[in-house]
Each structure stands twice: as C-alpha cells, then as structure tokens.
Structure 1
C-alpha cells in the first residue's frame, strides 16, 4: 500500500521523540573484533537472535546493521507514516527491479528497510501468521517437523505481546484471546481509531456470508474470511518493531551485546576448513563506500540475516553461488551452489480505488499541513487517526475450484489465493488527485507461481544486484489478480455500501473487459513487499536449496542463515511474523548446538 504527503516532512521533526538506549555509531568504539557470534542484519530475525543469544551473559554477540539507527525517526514511530520511509530516503535501500514484462516493461521501486529493525521499522505493521497448512508444508518441504504449525506455536507465543488498542475500545468479538500471547516481546493490537467503513464491512459479512464470511481471528491457523486487522502497534499508538522490542533499552544495554549501525557487510570470508567443508567465520565490513574495510571474527558462527536481497548478494560476493555466474564477474567460487539467489518469490499487488461519500478519510493528511499538525498533536496524547497504520480490515479468499487448470498452488484447501486490504483513503504510489475522498482495496495474489532471481550486476558490493521478481510470468498469477479485483468489486456492491460508495476511480471504471482489466493490472501493479526464497531450506541431504532445515548453509561450516530468504515458498501472509518465527527457532537451534 502507498500513502504520501509532502506536507508531513515539513512538520514531523517539530515533535520530540525519546531515543532508545545507546548503540555504536562507529565500529571503532566497540574495542574488539572477535565475538562468539556475528550477526549480519538487524531486521526481524537478526534482532531476535541477538536478543536470545545475548541473554546468556557468557556469550558475546556482534549485530551489524547497514542502515542508521531508528532513534528519533518519527516516521518510523507514528503508525500512519510508513510511506515516508520508502524510496529516496535514508531508511530505504532504494532498490529497483529489472524491467518486468508482466508489468508492461516497467521497472518498479523495491523498498526494503535500511535502518535498525530492518523492514519491521518501515513496514505497514500487519500481523499475520499464515495458515496452519503453510507451516505444515514448510515442515514437509524441509523434512523437519520442527517447522510445522504445532511446533512453531511456542515461537509465536514468545514473540507476541498482545496489548489493548490505543483507544481501549471494547474488543469483544474482534479477536480470539485464546490464540494470543500477552507475555512475548513484540506488541500486537487491534486498530485504535475507528474507520467510517467499519460497520459497512461487518454488514457485508452478514449480507454475503457465503463469499465473505466473518472470521473472528485470522491468526488462529484458519485465516479465510473477513477480519479485524491486527498490527504490531503498542497500546500508546506507536510502532512496535524489532528495534523497539527485541533491541529495546533493556536488551541493547547488555554489556555482551554490541549493536553497530552504519556498518555495511561486504562479504564473508573463508577462515579454514572443518571436516572437509570450507569454514566462514569472518565478516568484512565498512562504514562507508570509501572507508577502510574491517574484518570481524566469530568463534562459533556467522549468521546472515540480511533479507532475501541482501543475504543472496553477500553469499554471491563471497564465492557461494553458481560458478558460471561468479566466474563471469571474476569472483572465485568456494561453494558451487546454483540455488543461491534463485527462487525469488513475492506477492504482486494492485490498488483499485473508489470515490466515497465521506470526509473522514486520511486524504486530508495529503493535502493540508494544518491537518497533519492537529493529528500529530492528538497522537502525542495517544489518540486520533495517526495511532493506526494506513490499513484497515483484511479479507482472505480462495478462487472458485474450477477457475484454474494447474495444481492448486495453495498449501491446502484452507489457505487463501488472494487478499484484500482496505484503506481509508488514497493508497497508490501515484499522486493524490486534487479533489475527492477515496477508499482503496489492495488486491494481492498471495500464492504466486512466478519465480525470479537475485543475481549480481557487478562484483562491487555497493552496486545493487539485479532483482527480478518476475511478476505475472504465469497465466495463473494474472488470472488470480483479475479474479481478486472482480471480488473486490463484488464486495462493495453489497447493499451496506449504498450511499457510501460514489463510483469507481476513472482507470478502474474503464476496466470493463478482460483486455482492459489486463491493461489496468499491468499498468498499476507493484509489490506487496514480501520477497522470500533466495536461500531456501531443503532436506538435509538434498542437492538443491541453500540451507538445511537447521538453517546451516549446505557445504559450509560456521555459517547459518535466518531471514525470509530461507522460506521456500512465500506464505499467504504478510511476512514479518514468519520471519520472527524463523529468528526464534534459529536461536533455539543455535543454543541447542552449543549448549548455551
């Protein structure tokens, strides 16, 4: 989803925000170059590992983050402002994709978090675990029952700290308390400010329960239906990220945990051979493109948690990948593994828009600095529309059983093929029109069958890699998107919307045939920001894949990966919760191996 406001940047810095505990801005202040564990990337999984491993005071941990600190970045703290953290800011990697034939030859921006907390500090905070069937499929694909739905429950509970919404409204019937945890670290809540269409959405589930049934809690393992949004927002109306939770003041102040920002890992270095396998226990980093290269060492393991783009790039730069590709760039191959960087999968998204008969949309934030200032003043009192993200209700649905001819790509009959995300305003990358109030319904294909790749463009670690999600490379994906948009149109045709919906926005209204709908999709689609799969896990003895089920890199010693790249198939979910789970389980696997 997209939400932009030129007015915001001129105002947000007028409001002071408390900073987190001390961390290192310069590696020179650390005073050491050898640690038990070196973790590259302070996103969801990396922050979890840093927290859990450093809980043992006898274990030293170095956590490296390429981006700056999150401290005082109000755009990352106010839930309504995530779009202010994207392209052309210091908090984004500013990636772009290769040209996408499925997008009519467009290259699109590909946002990834570039600050402490990684993408959890810049995302739209949606809290979804996925279906039970998806985790059971991960267990099957990896050959490890430890990844199944039942066995990951303890990690879900360790992660989640369910909390009251900012407005402390009565939440009875809006979630199922029995499937949530109040004792974890990362805050999760329901919306803390009402949207004008809330009663219309619930009324639609009663009017059309066959197509749009109400689901009291989409995080129970059964996610199909229409439900109230759950977000990683705390009870004060502030974002709860990996940086504010797992790296909060209580944890980041541990003397055995060293967190260094502005530290770009350029490659991992072979340090020897263990039982015939090349060992990788050193990381080369720099704090600026022209600065000196520093080498840090791990006595036990290096753990890559740099995400589906960063982890693949670091592996390739380090000589772990397809020998033919590496040789073409003059990189010595240490482990020839053609799976590295392949299998990139992401959710394509479009954002159909409707004109609505309401002045209670967030479009005013995009137009009037006075509205921004007034809403920020409310937010400081933990009230008002800024305590929520730009998203509202979610809908998870399946395609009709005879509408596709391939084998069902979903993990099972209770896993969605597509998702709808409601937004109370204009939620596109394109500029907001000068007049009108809007509602957007993001339409996402959640089980895409297209696969792409991350490959090196050059051997320079500061040149972005080639990122090719290969969107709409299959007929299924395009057809699923068409059906998702058709379903969104059906949703707002319920009688409940009479008097609220005025009409479709012009480009959507023009999409009246299969051909014009295809054009609408290819001209407007983008990413839902959920890349996975570039270092996929596979069974222990499989000759394909990049990591074993315990997340150790195949053919290597002293090297493990824990981030979204290890997931072999993108879940029908927003990915932050699955990646937190990867981090939690990885920390247990590491602690068991070393008896920590």
Structure 2
C-alpha cells in the first residue's frame, strides 16, 4: 500500500501554494494577518477557513509532520500513545489523591493534526442539552445546539463503512453531514459482540437503542461514528481533513518543529493591551524570533498548551505567576484553573471466543494476514477503531446520590452522566494484557464530572512541562457517579444475550460490596485523555475568554481549542472542537470583514 503522507502532499504543492518550513529564520521577515499557534483541530480548521479569503496566515506547530504508518491505520492508531515518540508532549499528571495517589502519562499530540492524529477516532457531537447549557453559561445564543447544527454538518463528510454493509437503522441521514471535511463512518468489520450488544437493548430496561447518538439526543446504545474513511480506510485527522485541502493556497505558511514561547504586548487598542506579538524558537539553545500579526493571534495549543502559553506571557493569576518568577501583564485568576477530564474505568471479562484481539496479538502469522488483507482490500479488523458500539446513559433522577449533590447536567434528558464502551478484547491503559484467555471490555467513562483541576507553570521556562492535575474523582459526587457507571457495566452483561459467551469477570471486576467497588475504581481508573475547559469562556464573573473567544481584558488574542469550552462535553472531544472551530472561523471572518 502506498500512503500519501501529509508532508508529501504539502511539499508537492509548496512551490505553487502553501509553504512548509522547519527553520524559524525562514519566516522571520515575513508579514502575516493572522498567526495561528498550534496545528491541532482548532488551529487546522481556522487556518483552512481564513485562507479561503485573501488573509495571509502563518501556522506555528511545535511538533513533527506525522507519526508514521500507524497514524493512518485505524486499529493501530491507539498504539501511538502514550509516550512512545517525538509526536507526543510526554506529559505526566501529578499524583491523583482520589486514585490512591497514582500518577500516569498524559499523552497529547505534538504533530500536524495534534491529538486528532493520535486519538481513538470516536466522533461524537455531544447533546442538545449540553450545548444549550454552554449557551446559558456564556449568555450567547450562538452556542445553542440549534445554532451549531450548521457547523456540525459543515465539518463532517459521511462515507460508507469498509464492508459496505446495509446501514439502514444505524444512523439518521437527515442529521448527518455529507459534504464536509472530516471523513466520518460507521464500523466496517463485524465482531461477535455486535449482536449481543444490540440484543441487550431489548432484553434489559435502561439501555434503549439509539439510532443516531449525534442527533442531539445521545441517550442509549448505538453504533459508533469514527473519523475514518477512504477506499483503504484511514484516520481522518484535522491535518488530512483541513491542512491538505489548503495546501495549494499561496497565503498559508506552516512552520513546524518550532515552539511558541509566549505572546506579547505590541501596543494599545483603545484602553486594552494589544497582544499580537508572538515569540518562538526551535529549542532552548536556539535563537528566539518575534513576529507581529497585523490582525490577531489565534491560540490553538490545546487544553494544556494554551493556558501554559498564556501564563508564560504574564496572563493569569498574578500571585501564582510571581511564585515562578513570571511578571504579570494581565491578571486573569482563572487561567488554567478550570481543567476537566473524563475518568476511564476498564472492566474486563473472560469470554468464550477465539476471535478477540488477543488472537492476533499472540499469533504473528495471523497479525500479518490481517495487515495484508487491509493493505490489499481495505477490509478486515484493522479498518475500525477499538469499539463498534457505545452507550450514553443517565443515572435516574430519583437516585439517592442526588441527595448528596446536585445533578451536574441539571436534569437535561439528552445529556449523559456516563458512557459505556464495548471492546472486543482486553483494554486496560495501566494493565498488561494477560498471556492467556480471551476477553471483552466494558469501559465506564464518567462524562459529566464536577471536579476541576489545574494547569500551572512548573517554572518560568517554556521548555519545562507544566504541572497538570485533572483532579479525577476529586469531588465525592464524581466518585458516586463512577460507582453507578461500574454497576451499570456489570449489569449490562447479565442479559440473556451474553449467556454461554461471557465466562466471568477478570480481576477486581468481581467486586460486589461498595468497599470492593471503591478499591476497584481507585486502583484501575485512568483517563480518556480528554482535557478540556482550562481557559474557559465565562459569564462575566469567572473565566478566561469571552463568548466570542477573545481573551478577557486584552485585544488581538483569541482562543480556538477545547480549553475554551466552559464545561467538558459529554462526548469524545474531537467533534465538539471541530464544531467550535468552525463557528470561531466565522466569528473571526465577521470581525475583520473577510
């Protein structure tokens, strides 16, 4: 198989269109209307949409071109993380008090496409009640579900699944985009779990079938949408979906392997400081360069990088900055202090099967056959991500846990508290796959957490990783919700559909008492790697950004990435960032009359 890489596509066209640089000196004397910091989802969308106009755009990305062949093959994609190459920032979180003081890696993409080039490719648009809550928090009707539907459609291009099976009843065409940038599809390889998951929806109460979880009502069990497509199905990242289509445009320059160290004040716009200056360098021992955008700087460095750059620039809590020797320029106390993430609890079960992932993992000949099948026909188990079905579910309104704390979803009937993910093999981010046995995993993800952590500077050096605390299950109500999610996962596989297939629980999944369940949660829970909301839009009394994404108290600086959402979405976070970035591009164009 010949894989057309992003670097190949960009360099092929660079003589007539977009230019790609690895030396910051090559852009030092250029002029740009907009400077976009970060080539993840937010930055890629904005760079594409702004270069549809005559505006001249520079994108600066700290990372590399790509991560290699595994980046493209859907099933292999998750093998890229964590901490296995130069395409990762190699972050580690601080010890988690509620997780027995454990710490673990926190992978984030450091390459074109950002984390969309490393993630598990699950594509969810969250729910109507979630986005309506965002609109309520920000006092901006532009963030309601109905207002954002056009951007959802604009971002995605639905493509047939790899096996071309009949998808009637598996999605709703009327709520699906067919002409957008991101290739999106349904699973293209059936597993033994599929009929059992679907049968359970009619055998047990509380697990209804949902024909399309991207319709605004996410509640129920349904087929997974993934950012995968093509004749030979491949990952559709923000790089392949937005940067390659813009690679023939003369007004786009991309500077890679160069890190932005801060943004800086270049004057005044009325009474506000104008932050249109960008400082950057190829490394701690390399020259430092400055550029000024004639219109504005768009900060799209992600939920870790964006607050870090703001704080290095003196924009943040003045007292915290003083502790690491950074002079305060704009005192915004909430910068970095509103971080949220989704805790992940893997629950594995022994199954009666010869067709789980473990078979190929333990048999090199079988693995080679699967790869050959993928390369020659674009079919087989490598065409999909790690699950064919997921479920978004609510804890009942009359549950006793709501006597201890309010419902974080405010009772929104389309807004999930937790997610179940059904995987045809052993999934355990901090567990080694056993040498023997066949497995299935029902993952419990808490998707509406209350807990908020932080991103803080570790020092005044931009080359030092920040301190990252997602505060997993810090609030008691989060722990209670996760306990309910675990019980739901165990209950799901009691349906008659699993008889003669499921043998029994693995390890501490056999927990039955509250004490045993508590220890299972505290010792195994990790993360879905969905950091969000660390530089959030506020409501006038808190926050980092306004509802039009500009940084509070300054001019010329805007945030377009997942850090800006005021509350973490009940979704795998790729699609919500595409949505806010598409709207952001229109906001920016309108503000400059483009």
Contact 1:532 1:567 (C-alpha < 8 Å) held by counterparts? yes
- The CA deviation at 1:455 is 0.7
The 2-side partners of 1:66 and 1:354 are apart by 41
What is the CA-CA distance between 1:44 and the residue it aligns to? 0.7
Q: Residue 512 in 1 paired to residue 500 in 2?
A: no
Q: Is the 8 A contact 2:129 2:414 kept in 1?
A: yes
Corresponding residue number in structure 1 for 2:36: 39
Asked whether the 8 Å contact 1:320–1:336 carries over to 2, the reply is yes
CA apart distance, 1:16? 4.9
* Alpha-carbon distance in 1 for matches of 2:193, 2:366: 21
Give the corresponding residue for 2:453: 452
The equivalent residue for 1:238 is: 234
Query: How many residue pairs get matched?
Result: 575
User: Which stretch shifts more, 22-31 or 582-591?
Assistant: 22-31
Is 1:150 aligned to residue 146 of structure 2? yes
Q: Whole-Å Cα distance in 2 between the matches of residues 31 and 468 of structure 1?
A: 36
Does the aligned pair in 1 maintain the 2:61–2:259 contact within 8 Å?
A: yes
Match of 2:572 in 1: 574
Counterpart residue number, 1:9: none
Alignment of 1:585-596 (within 5 A): 585-596=583-594
Matched, 1:175 2:171: yes
Query: Which residue of 313, 316, 330 maps to 1:318?
Result: 313
How big is each residue's C-alpha offset from its partner over 1:18-70, in whole Å with a ceiling of 9 and x where there is no partner? 222223233344474320000001111110000000011x2100111111012
Question: 1:86-485, aligned counterparts within 5 Å?
Answer: 86-88=81-83, 89-208=85-204, 210-236=205-231, 237-248=233-244, 250-380=245-375, 381-403=377-399, 404=401, 405=403, 406-411=405-410, 412-429=412-429, 430-485=431-486
Give the Cα–Cα distance (whole angstroms) in 2 for the partners of residues 369 and 272 of structure 1.
62
Please list the CA deviations of residues 536-565 of structure 1 after superposition, one character each: whole Å capped at 9, or x if unmatched.
1123xx142111100011110110001001
Whole-angstrom CA distance in 1 between matches of 2:428 and 2:47: 36
Q: CA deviation at 1:82?
A: 2.5
User: Could you tell me how far apart the structure 2 residues matched to 1:490 and 1:543 are?
Assistant: 43
- Other-structure match for 2:16: none
Report the 3-state secondary structure (helix = DSSP H, G, I; strand = E; otherwise coil) of the residue aligned with 1:243.
Answer: helix
The equivalent residue for 2:498 is: 497
Unaligned runs of 5+ in 1: 1-14
Specify the alignment match of 1:534 in structure 2.
534
Please list every run of 5 or more consecutive structure 2 residues that lacks an aligned counterpart in the other structure. Answer: 12-19
Report the 3-state secondary structure (helix = DSSP H, G, I; strand = E; otherwise coil) of the residue aligned with 2:75: coil
CA distance in 2, matches of 1:368, 1:29: 49
State how far apart, in whole Å, the 1-side matches of 2:289 and 2:356 are: 50
Supply the distance in 1 between the matched residues of 2:170 and 2:591 (Cα, whole angstroms): 41
Kept in 1, the 8 Å contact 2:544–2:551? The answer is yes
Q: What whole-Å deviation, never above 9, does each CA across 1:197-249 have from its counterpart, x for those lacking one? A: 101111111112x311100000000010000111000033100010110012x
Residue deviations 1:290-322 (CA, integer Å, cap 9, x gap)? 211121221000010011110000000000000
Q: Distance in 1 between the 2:356 and 2:365 partners?
A: 15
Residue aligning to 1:551 = 549
CA distance in 2, matches of 1:365, 1:147: 45
Deviations 1:385-410 (CA, angstroms, capped at 9, x unpaired): 10000122111111122322222101
State the alpha-carbon separation in 2 of the partners of residues 75 and 26 from structure 1: 27
Cα 1:167–1:29, aligned 2, differ >3 Å: closer, same or farther? farther
Separation in 2 of the partners of 1:565 and 1:521?
Answer: 27
* Contact 1:100–1:107 under 8 Å retained in 2: yes
CA shift at 1:413, angstroms?
Answer: 2.5
Contact 2:28/2:290 (<8 A) preserved: no
Partners of 2:591 and 2:413 in 1: CA distance: 37
Distance of 1:223 and 1:451 partners within structure 2: 24
Q: C-alpha root-mean-square deviation of aligned residues, in Å?
A: 1.3
Q: Distance in 1 between matches of 2:311 and 2:22?
A: 27
Is 2:28–2:289's contact at 8 Å kept on the other side of the alignment? no
The alignment partner of 1:308 has SS state of helix
Distance in 1 (alpha carbons) for counterparts of 2:394 and 2:90 = 34
- State the Cα distance separating 1:366 from its structure 2 match: 2.7
Q: 1:365 to 1:90 in 2, by over 3 A?
A: farther
Per mean C-alpha deviation after superposition, the further-off stretch among 105-114 and 85-94 is: 85-94
Q: Which residue of 2 aligns with 1:3?
A: none
What CA distance in whole angstroms lies between the structure 2 residues aligned with 1:30 and 1:457? Answer: 30
Name the CA shift for 1:203/1:543 in 2 (closer, same or farther; >3 Å).
Answer: closer
Partner residue of 2:582?
A: 584
- Post-superposition offset of 1:508: 1.2
Distance change in 2, residues 1:170/1:235 (3 Å): farther
Equivalents in 2 of 1:235, 1:172: separation in Å?
Answer: 20
SS at match of 1:259: strand
Q: Distance in 2 between matches of 1:350 and 1:377?
A: 34
CA apart distance, 1:273 = 1.5
Q: Distance in 2 between matches of 1:367 and 1:300?
A: 56
- SS state at 1:364 partner: helix
After superposition, give the CA deviation of every residue in 1:73-119 in whole Å (9 maximum; x if it has no partner).
11110111123211222221111111111110001211111110011
The answer (yes or no) to whether the contact 2:28–2:291 under 8 Å persists in 1 is no
Question: Could you tell me how far apart the structure 1 residues matched to 2:554 and 2:373 are?
Answer: 53
The match for 1:55 is: 52
Separation of aligned partners in 2, 1:258 and 1:370: 45
Structure 1 match to 2:487: 486
SS at match of 1:589: helix
The answer on whether the counterparts of 1:33 and 1:295 sit within 8 Å (CA) in structure 2 is no
1:83 aligns with 2:101: no
Give the structure-2-normalised TM-score. 0.95
1:50 aligns to what SS in structure 2? Answer: helix
